[in-house]
Chains A and B, each alone.
Chain A
Amino acid sequence: MRKLEELEHKWFNYKIKTILMPMVKVSSLYLVAVSLYYVYDKKEHLFSSVYAPSHHMTKVLGVSMEANNSVMARVVQTEETKHEKMKKEEVAPSASSSLEKVSFAPVIPVIDMEKEERVHHVKKRVKTKRKHVAKSNLVKAKANAYLTPKELGVMGQSSANKVVSSKVQSVKKVPHKTKKMHFTSTRANYAETIKSKFIKSNNPRDALLLAKLYYKKNNFKEAEKWALSANKLNNSLEESWFLFAKSKVKLGKKHEALKILVSYYKKSNSTKAKALIMQIKMGKI
C-alpha cells in the first residue's frame, strides 16, 4: 500500500515534469531567440553605417508592413546605441565632408545675458532718480531730456537746468563697455550644433531642422536621411513626410515619393499632402 502511494507520488511528479518541461523549453527557446535577435541587431548597428540604406528607408515610411515593423524596432533602440551612432557619424569622413558643404544661414537665438542685466540695472536707476526729482520739485519729468513749453513756464530756470543736468549725468553714468562677442557660426558649425543638440534631446524637430538644412543645400541624400530620422521619432510630423518625399523626387525616385505621400494622405487626409502630390505629379518639384 505504501509502495503504491509512493508510486502515485512519483507519477504526480512525472506529470508535473511532463507538463512543465515543454513550457520551460519553449520559453527558454523564445528567450534565446529574442536575445540573439537583439545581439544581432545591436551588432548590425555598431558595424554598419549610422543610417539605413535608402531603399530600406523607403520601406520604413509605410510602403510595406514589414518595414513598418522595422521602424518600430529601431525606435526602441537604447540611448547609448544612439549616442554611439551619432559619434560614429561625426567621425565618419563622408558625413563630415557633407557637412562642410552646407551653406544654410543659421538662426541661433543667443541672448547676451550680461548686456540685458546691465540695461535693466540702468533703467532701474533712472527710474529712482526720476522719482526723487519729481518729489523734490513737484514737476513731472518725462523720460526724455526735452520739456514742454508748459513745463518750462511752471519751472524756474535753475530747477529746469537741474533736471536736465541730472538727466544728462544719469545717462553719462551708465557704464557702457563694448564687449567683443566672437560668434563664429559657420554653416558646418550650425549643423554640428543642431546635431549635438539632437544627440542630447533626441528631439525629432532637430532632425527635421537638419533635413531642411540639407534640402536647401541640395544635399538630398542627407535631407532624406534626416527626414527619416525625424519621422522615426515622430511620424506625425507632417514636414518629415514632405521633406522625405521631396528629397526622393530630387533623387529621381518620383514614384517612391508619390507612394509615400499617397500612403500618408490616406492616413492623414492632409490637404498639404494632396497639394504636394499634385505638385510632384505636375513636375513642379
Chain B
Amino acid sequence: MNSSYEELKNIFVDIVDNSTYVELDSTAYNYSVLKSSLDKPLKMVLLYGKPGTGKSMLLNRLYHELKEYREIHYFNTPILSEKEFLKSIYEAMSGEEIPAQMRVNFDALLKYCLKLKEQREVVFLLDECQLYSEALMEKIRLLSDTRVVKFVITLHKTDKEDVIAKEHFKTRIWEVIEMSNANEYDMELYIQKKILNKGLIDFFKTMKKSHFKYIYGHTLGNFRETNKYLYTIFDIYEYYEKNEPAKIDNKKFSKKILEMAAIRLGYINA
C-alpha cells in the first residue's frame, strides 16, 4: 500500500493546477467578479494581493474555464523581454509562428489590433506583472486602448506595485479585485476540501479545531504557507510511518509533529 501520508503530502504540493483548485466563499466571490468583468467593456482588470493569496490559482481557473468559449491566453510566467512579449502576443492573436530571427514591430502590432476592432476580443491573462518593466507596461496599456486586446494582470501588493498600478492604469477603465488571506474558517475549509477530495476522511477526522487554529496561527490564512506547512507535517508523518511507526498514532493527530513542522519552517524559534 502506498503510504497515506505520502498521498496527503502530495495534496499540498504548491502547484498552480486547475484540478487542485479549492473553491471557498471568498475565492468564489472574487472569481465571479473577475469573470463578469471580462464581459464588461473594460480595457484592463487588475488582480492584486499579497503573495500566496490565490491570484495565480484564480487566473488559472479562469483560463481553464473560458478557454473553450472565448479567445483567452494565459502567460503564467512573465515574459520579460519586450521582443519576446510582443512576439508572443502576435503569435497568440494570429496563430502563426514567427521565425526566431524575426521580431514584431510594436507599431505594426498596434495597427494589426486596430484592424481587428469590433471583430475580435482577445483576453490575455498576465501573471506576476510586477516583474514587467515600465516600458513594457506602457506598451500593454497602449495595446489595451485598441479595445481588441483585454488584459487581466496580477500584481503583488506592495507600495511599489501600487505606484506602478496607479501611474499606468489610473486613466483606464478597469476592474480592481483585491485578494486577501483566508480567514480561519476558510482555511479550515480549504484543508478539509483538499483532504476530502482525495478521500482521506479517516485522517481528517483526527484533526481538531485546535489543530486548525494552531496552523492558522502560523500561516495567517496564506494559502502558500498553509500548503507548505501541511506538506512538511505529512513529510514528517511519512518519515515516522516508514522508519519509526511506533512514534505515531493513526487515530490521533500529533501536536508534536505540528510543532516540529513549525520549527522546521522557522515559524517557531526553538
Residues of A within 8 A of B (CB): 1, 4, 7-8, 10-11, 13-15, 17
Contact = CB atoms under 8 A, between A and B. Distances in A.
Interface of B: 236, 239, 243, 256, 259-260, 263-264, 268, 270
Nearest to A10: B270
Q: Which 5 pairs, one residue from A and one from B, show the smallest C-beta to C-beta distance?
A: A14-B270, A10-B270, A11-B260, A10-B263, A7-B260
SS class of chain A's interface: helix, strand, loop or mixed?
helix
A1 B236 CA distance: 10
B68 to A, nearest CB: 46
B239 A17 contact: no
B239 A13 contact: no
B259 A14 contact: yes
B260 A17 contact: no
B55 to A, nearest CB: 32
A10 B259 CA distance: 10
Nearest to A16: B270
Nearest to A9: B270
Contacts of B256: 11
A14 B239 CA distance: 21
24 contacts: A1-B239, A1-B243, A4-B236, A4-B239, A7-B236, A7-B260, A7-B263, A7-B264, A8-B260, A10-B260, A10-B263, A10-B270, A11-B256, A11-B259, A11-B260, A11-B263, A11-B270, A13-B270, A14-B259, A14-B263, A14-B268, A14-B270, A15-B259, A17-B270
B270 to A, nearest CB: 4
A7 B239 CA distance: 12
Given A7-B264, A10-B260, A11-B260, 9 more contacts: A4-B236, A4-B239, A8-B260, A10-B270, A11-B263, A14-B259, A14-B268, A15-B259, A17-B270
A5 to B, nearest CB: 10
Contacts, number: 24
Residue among B256, B259, B270 having the largest count of chain A Cβ atoms under 10 Å? B270
A17 B268 CA distance: 12
A66 to B, nearest CB: 42
A1 B238 CA distance: 12
A8 B239 CA distance: 12
Contacts of A14: 259, 263, 268, 270
A8 B243 CA distance: 14
A13 B268 CA distance: 12
A181 B270 CA distance: 83
A231 to B, nearest CB: 57
Contacts of B260: 7-8, 10-11
Contacts of A1: 239, 243
B256 to A, nearest CB: 7
A15 B259 CA distance: 9
B116 to A, nearest CB: 57
B246 to A, nearest CB: 14
Contacts of B268: 14
A35 to B, nearest CB: 31
Contacts of B264: 7
A15 B257 CA distance: 12
A15 B236 CA distance: 18
A177 B239 CA distance: 109
A10 B263 CA distance: 8
A13 B259 CA distance: 12
Contacts of B259: 11, 14-15
B76 to A, nearest CB: 33
Contacts of B270: 10-11, 13-14, 17
Nearest to B239: A4
Nearest to A12: B270
A11 B262 CA distance: 9
A4 B270 CA distance: 14
A199 B154 CA distance: 86
A16 to B, nearest CB: 10
Contacts of A15: 259
B244 to A, nearest CB: 9
A11 B260 CA distance: 6
A4 B259 CA distance: 13
A60 B138 CA distance: 86
Contacts of B239: 1, 4
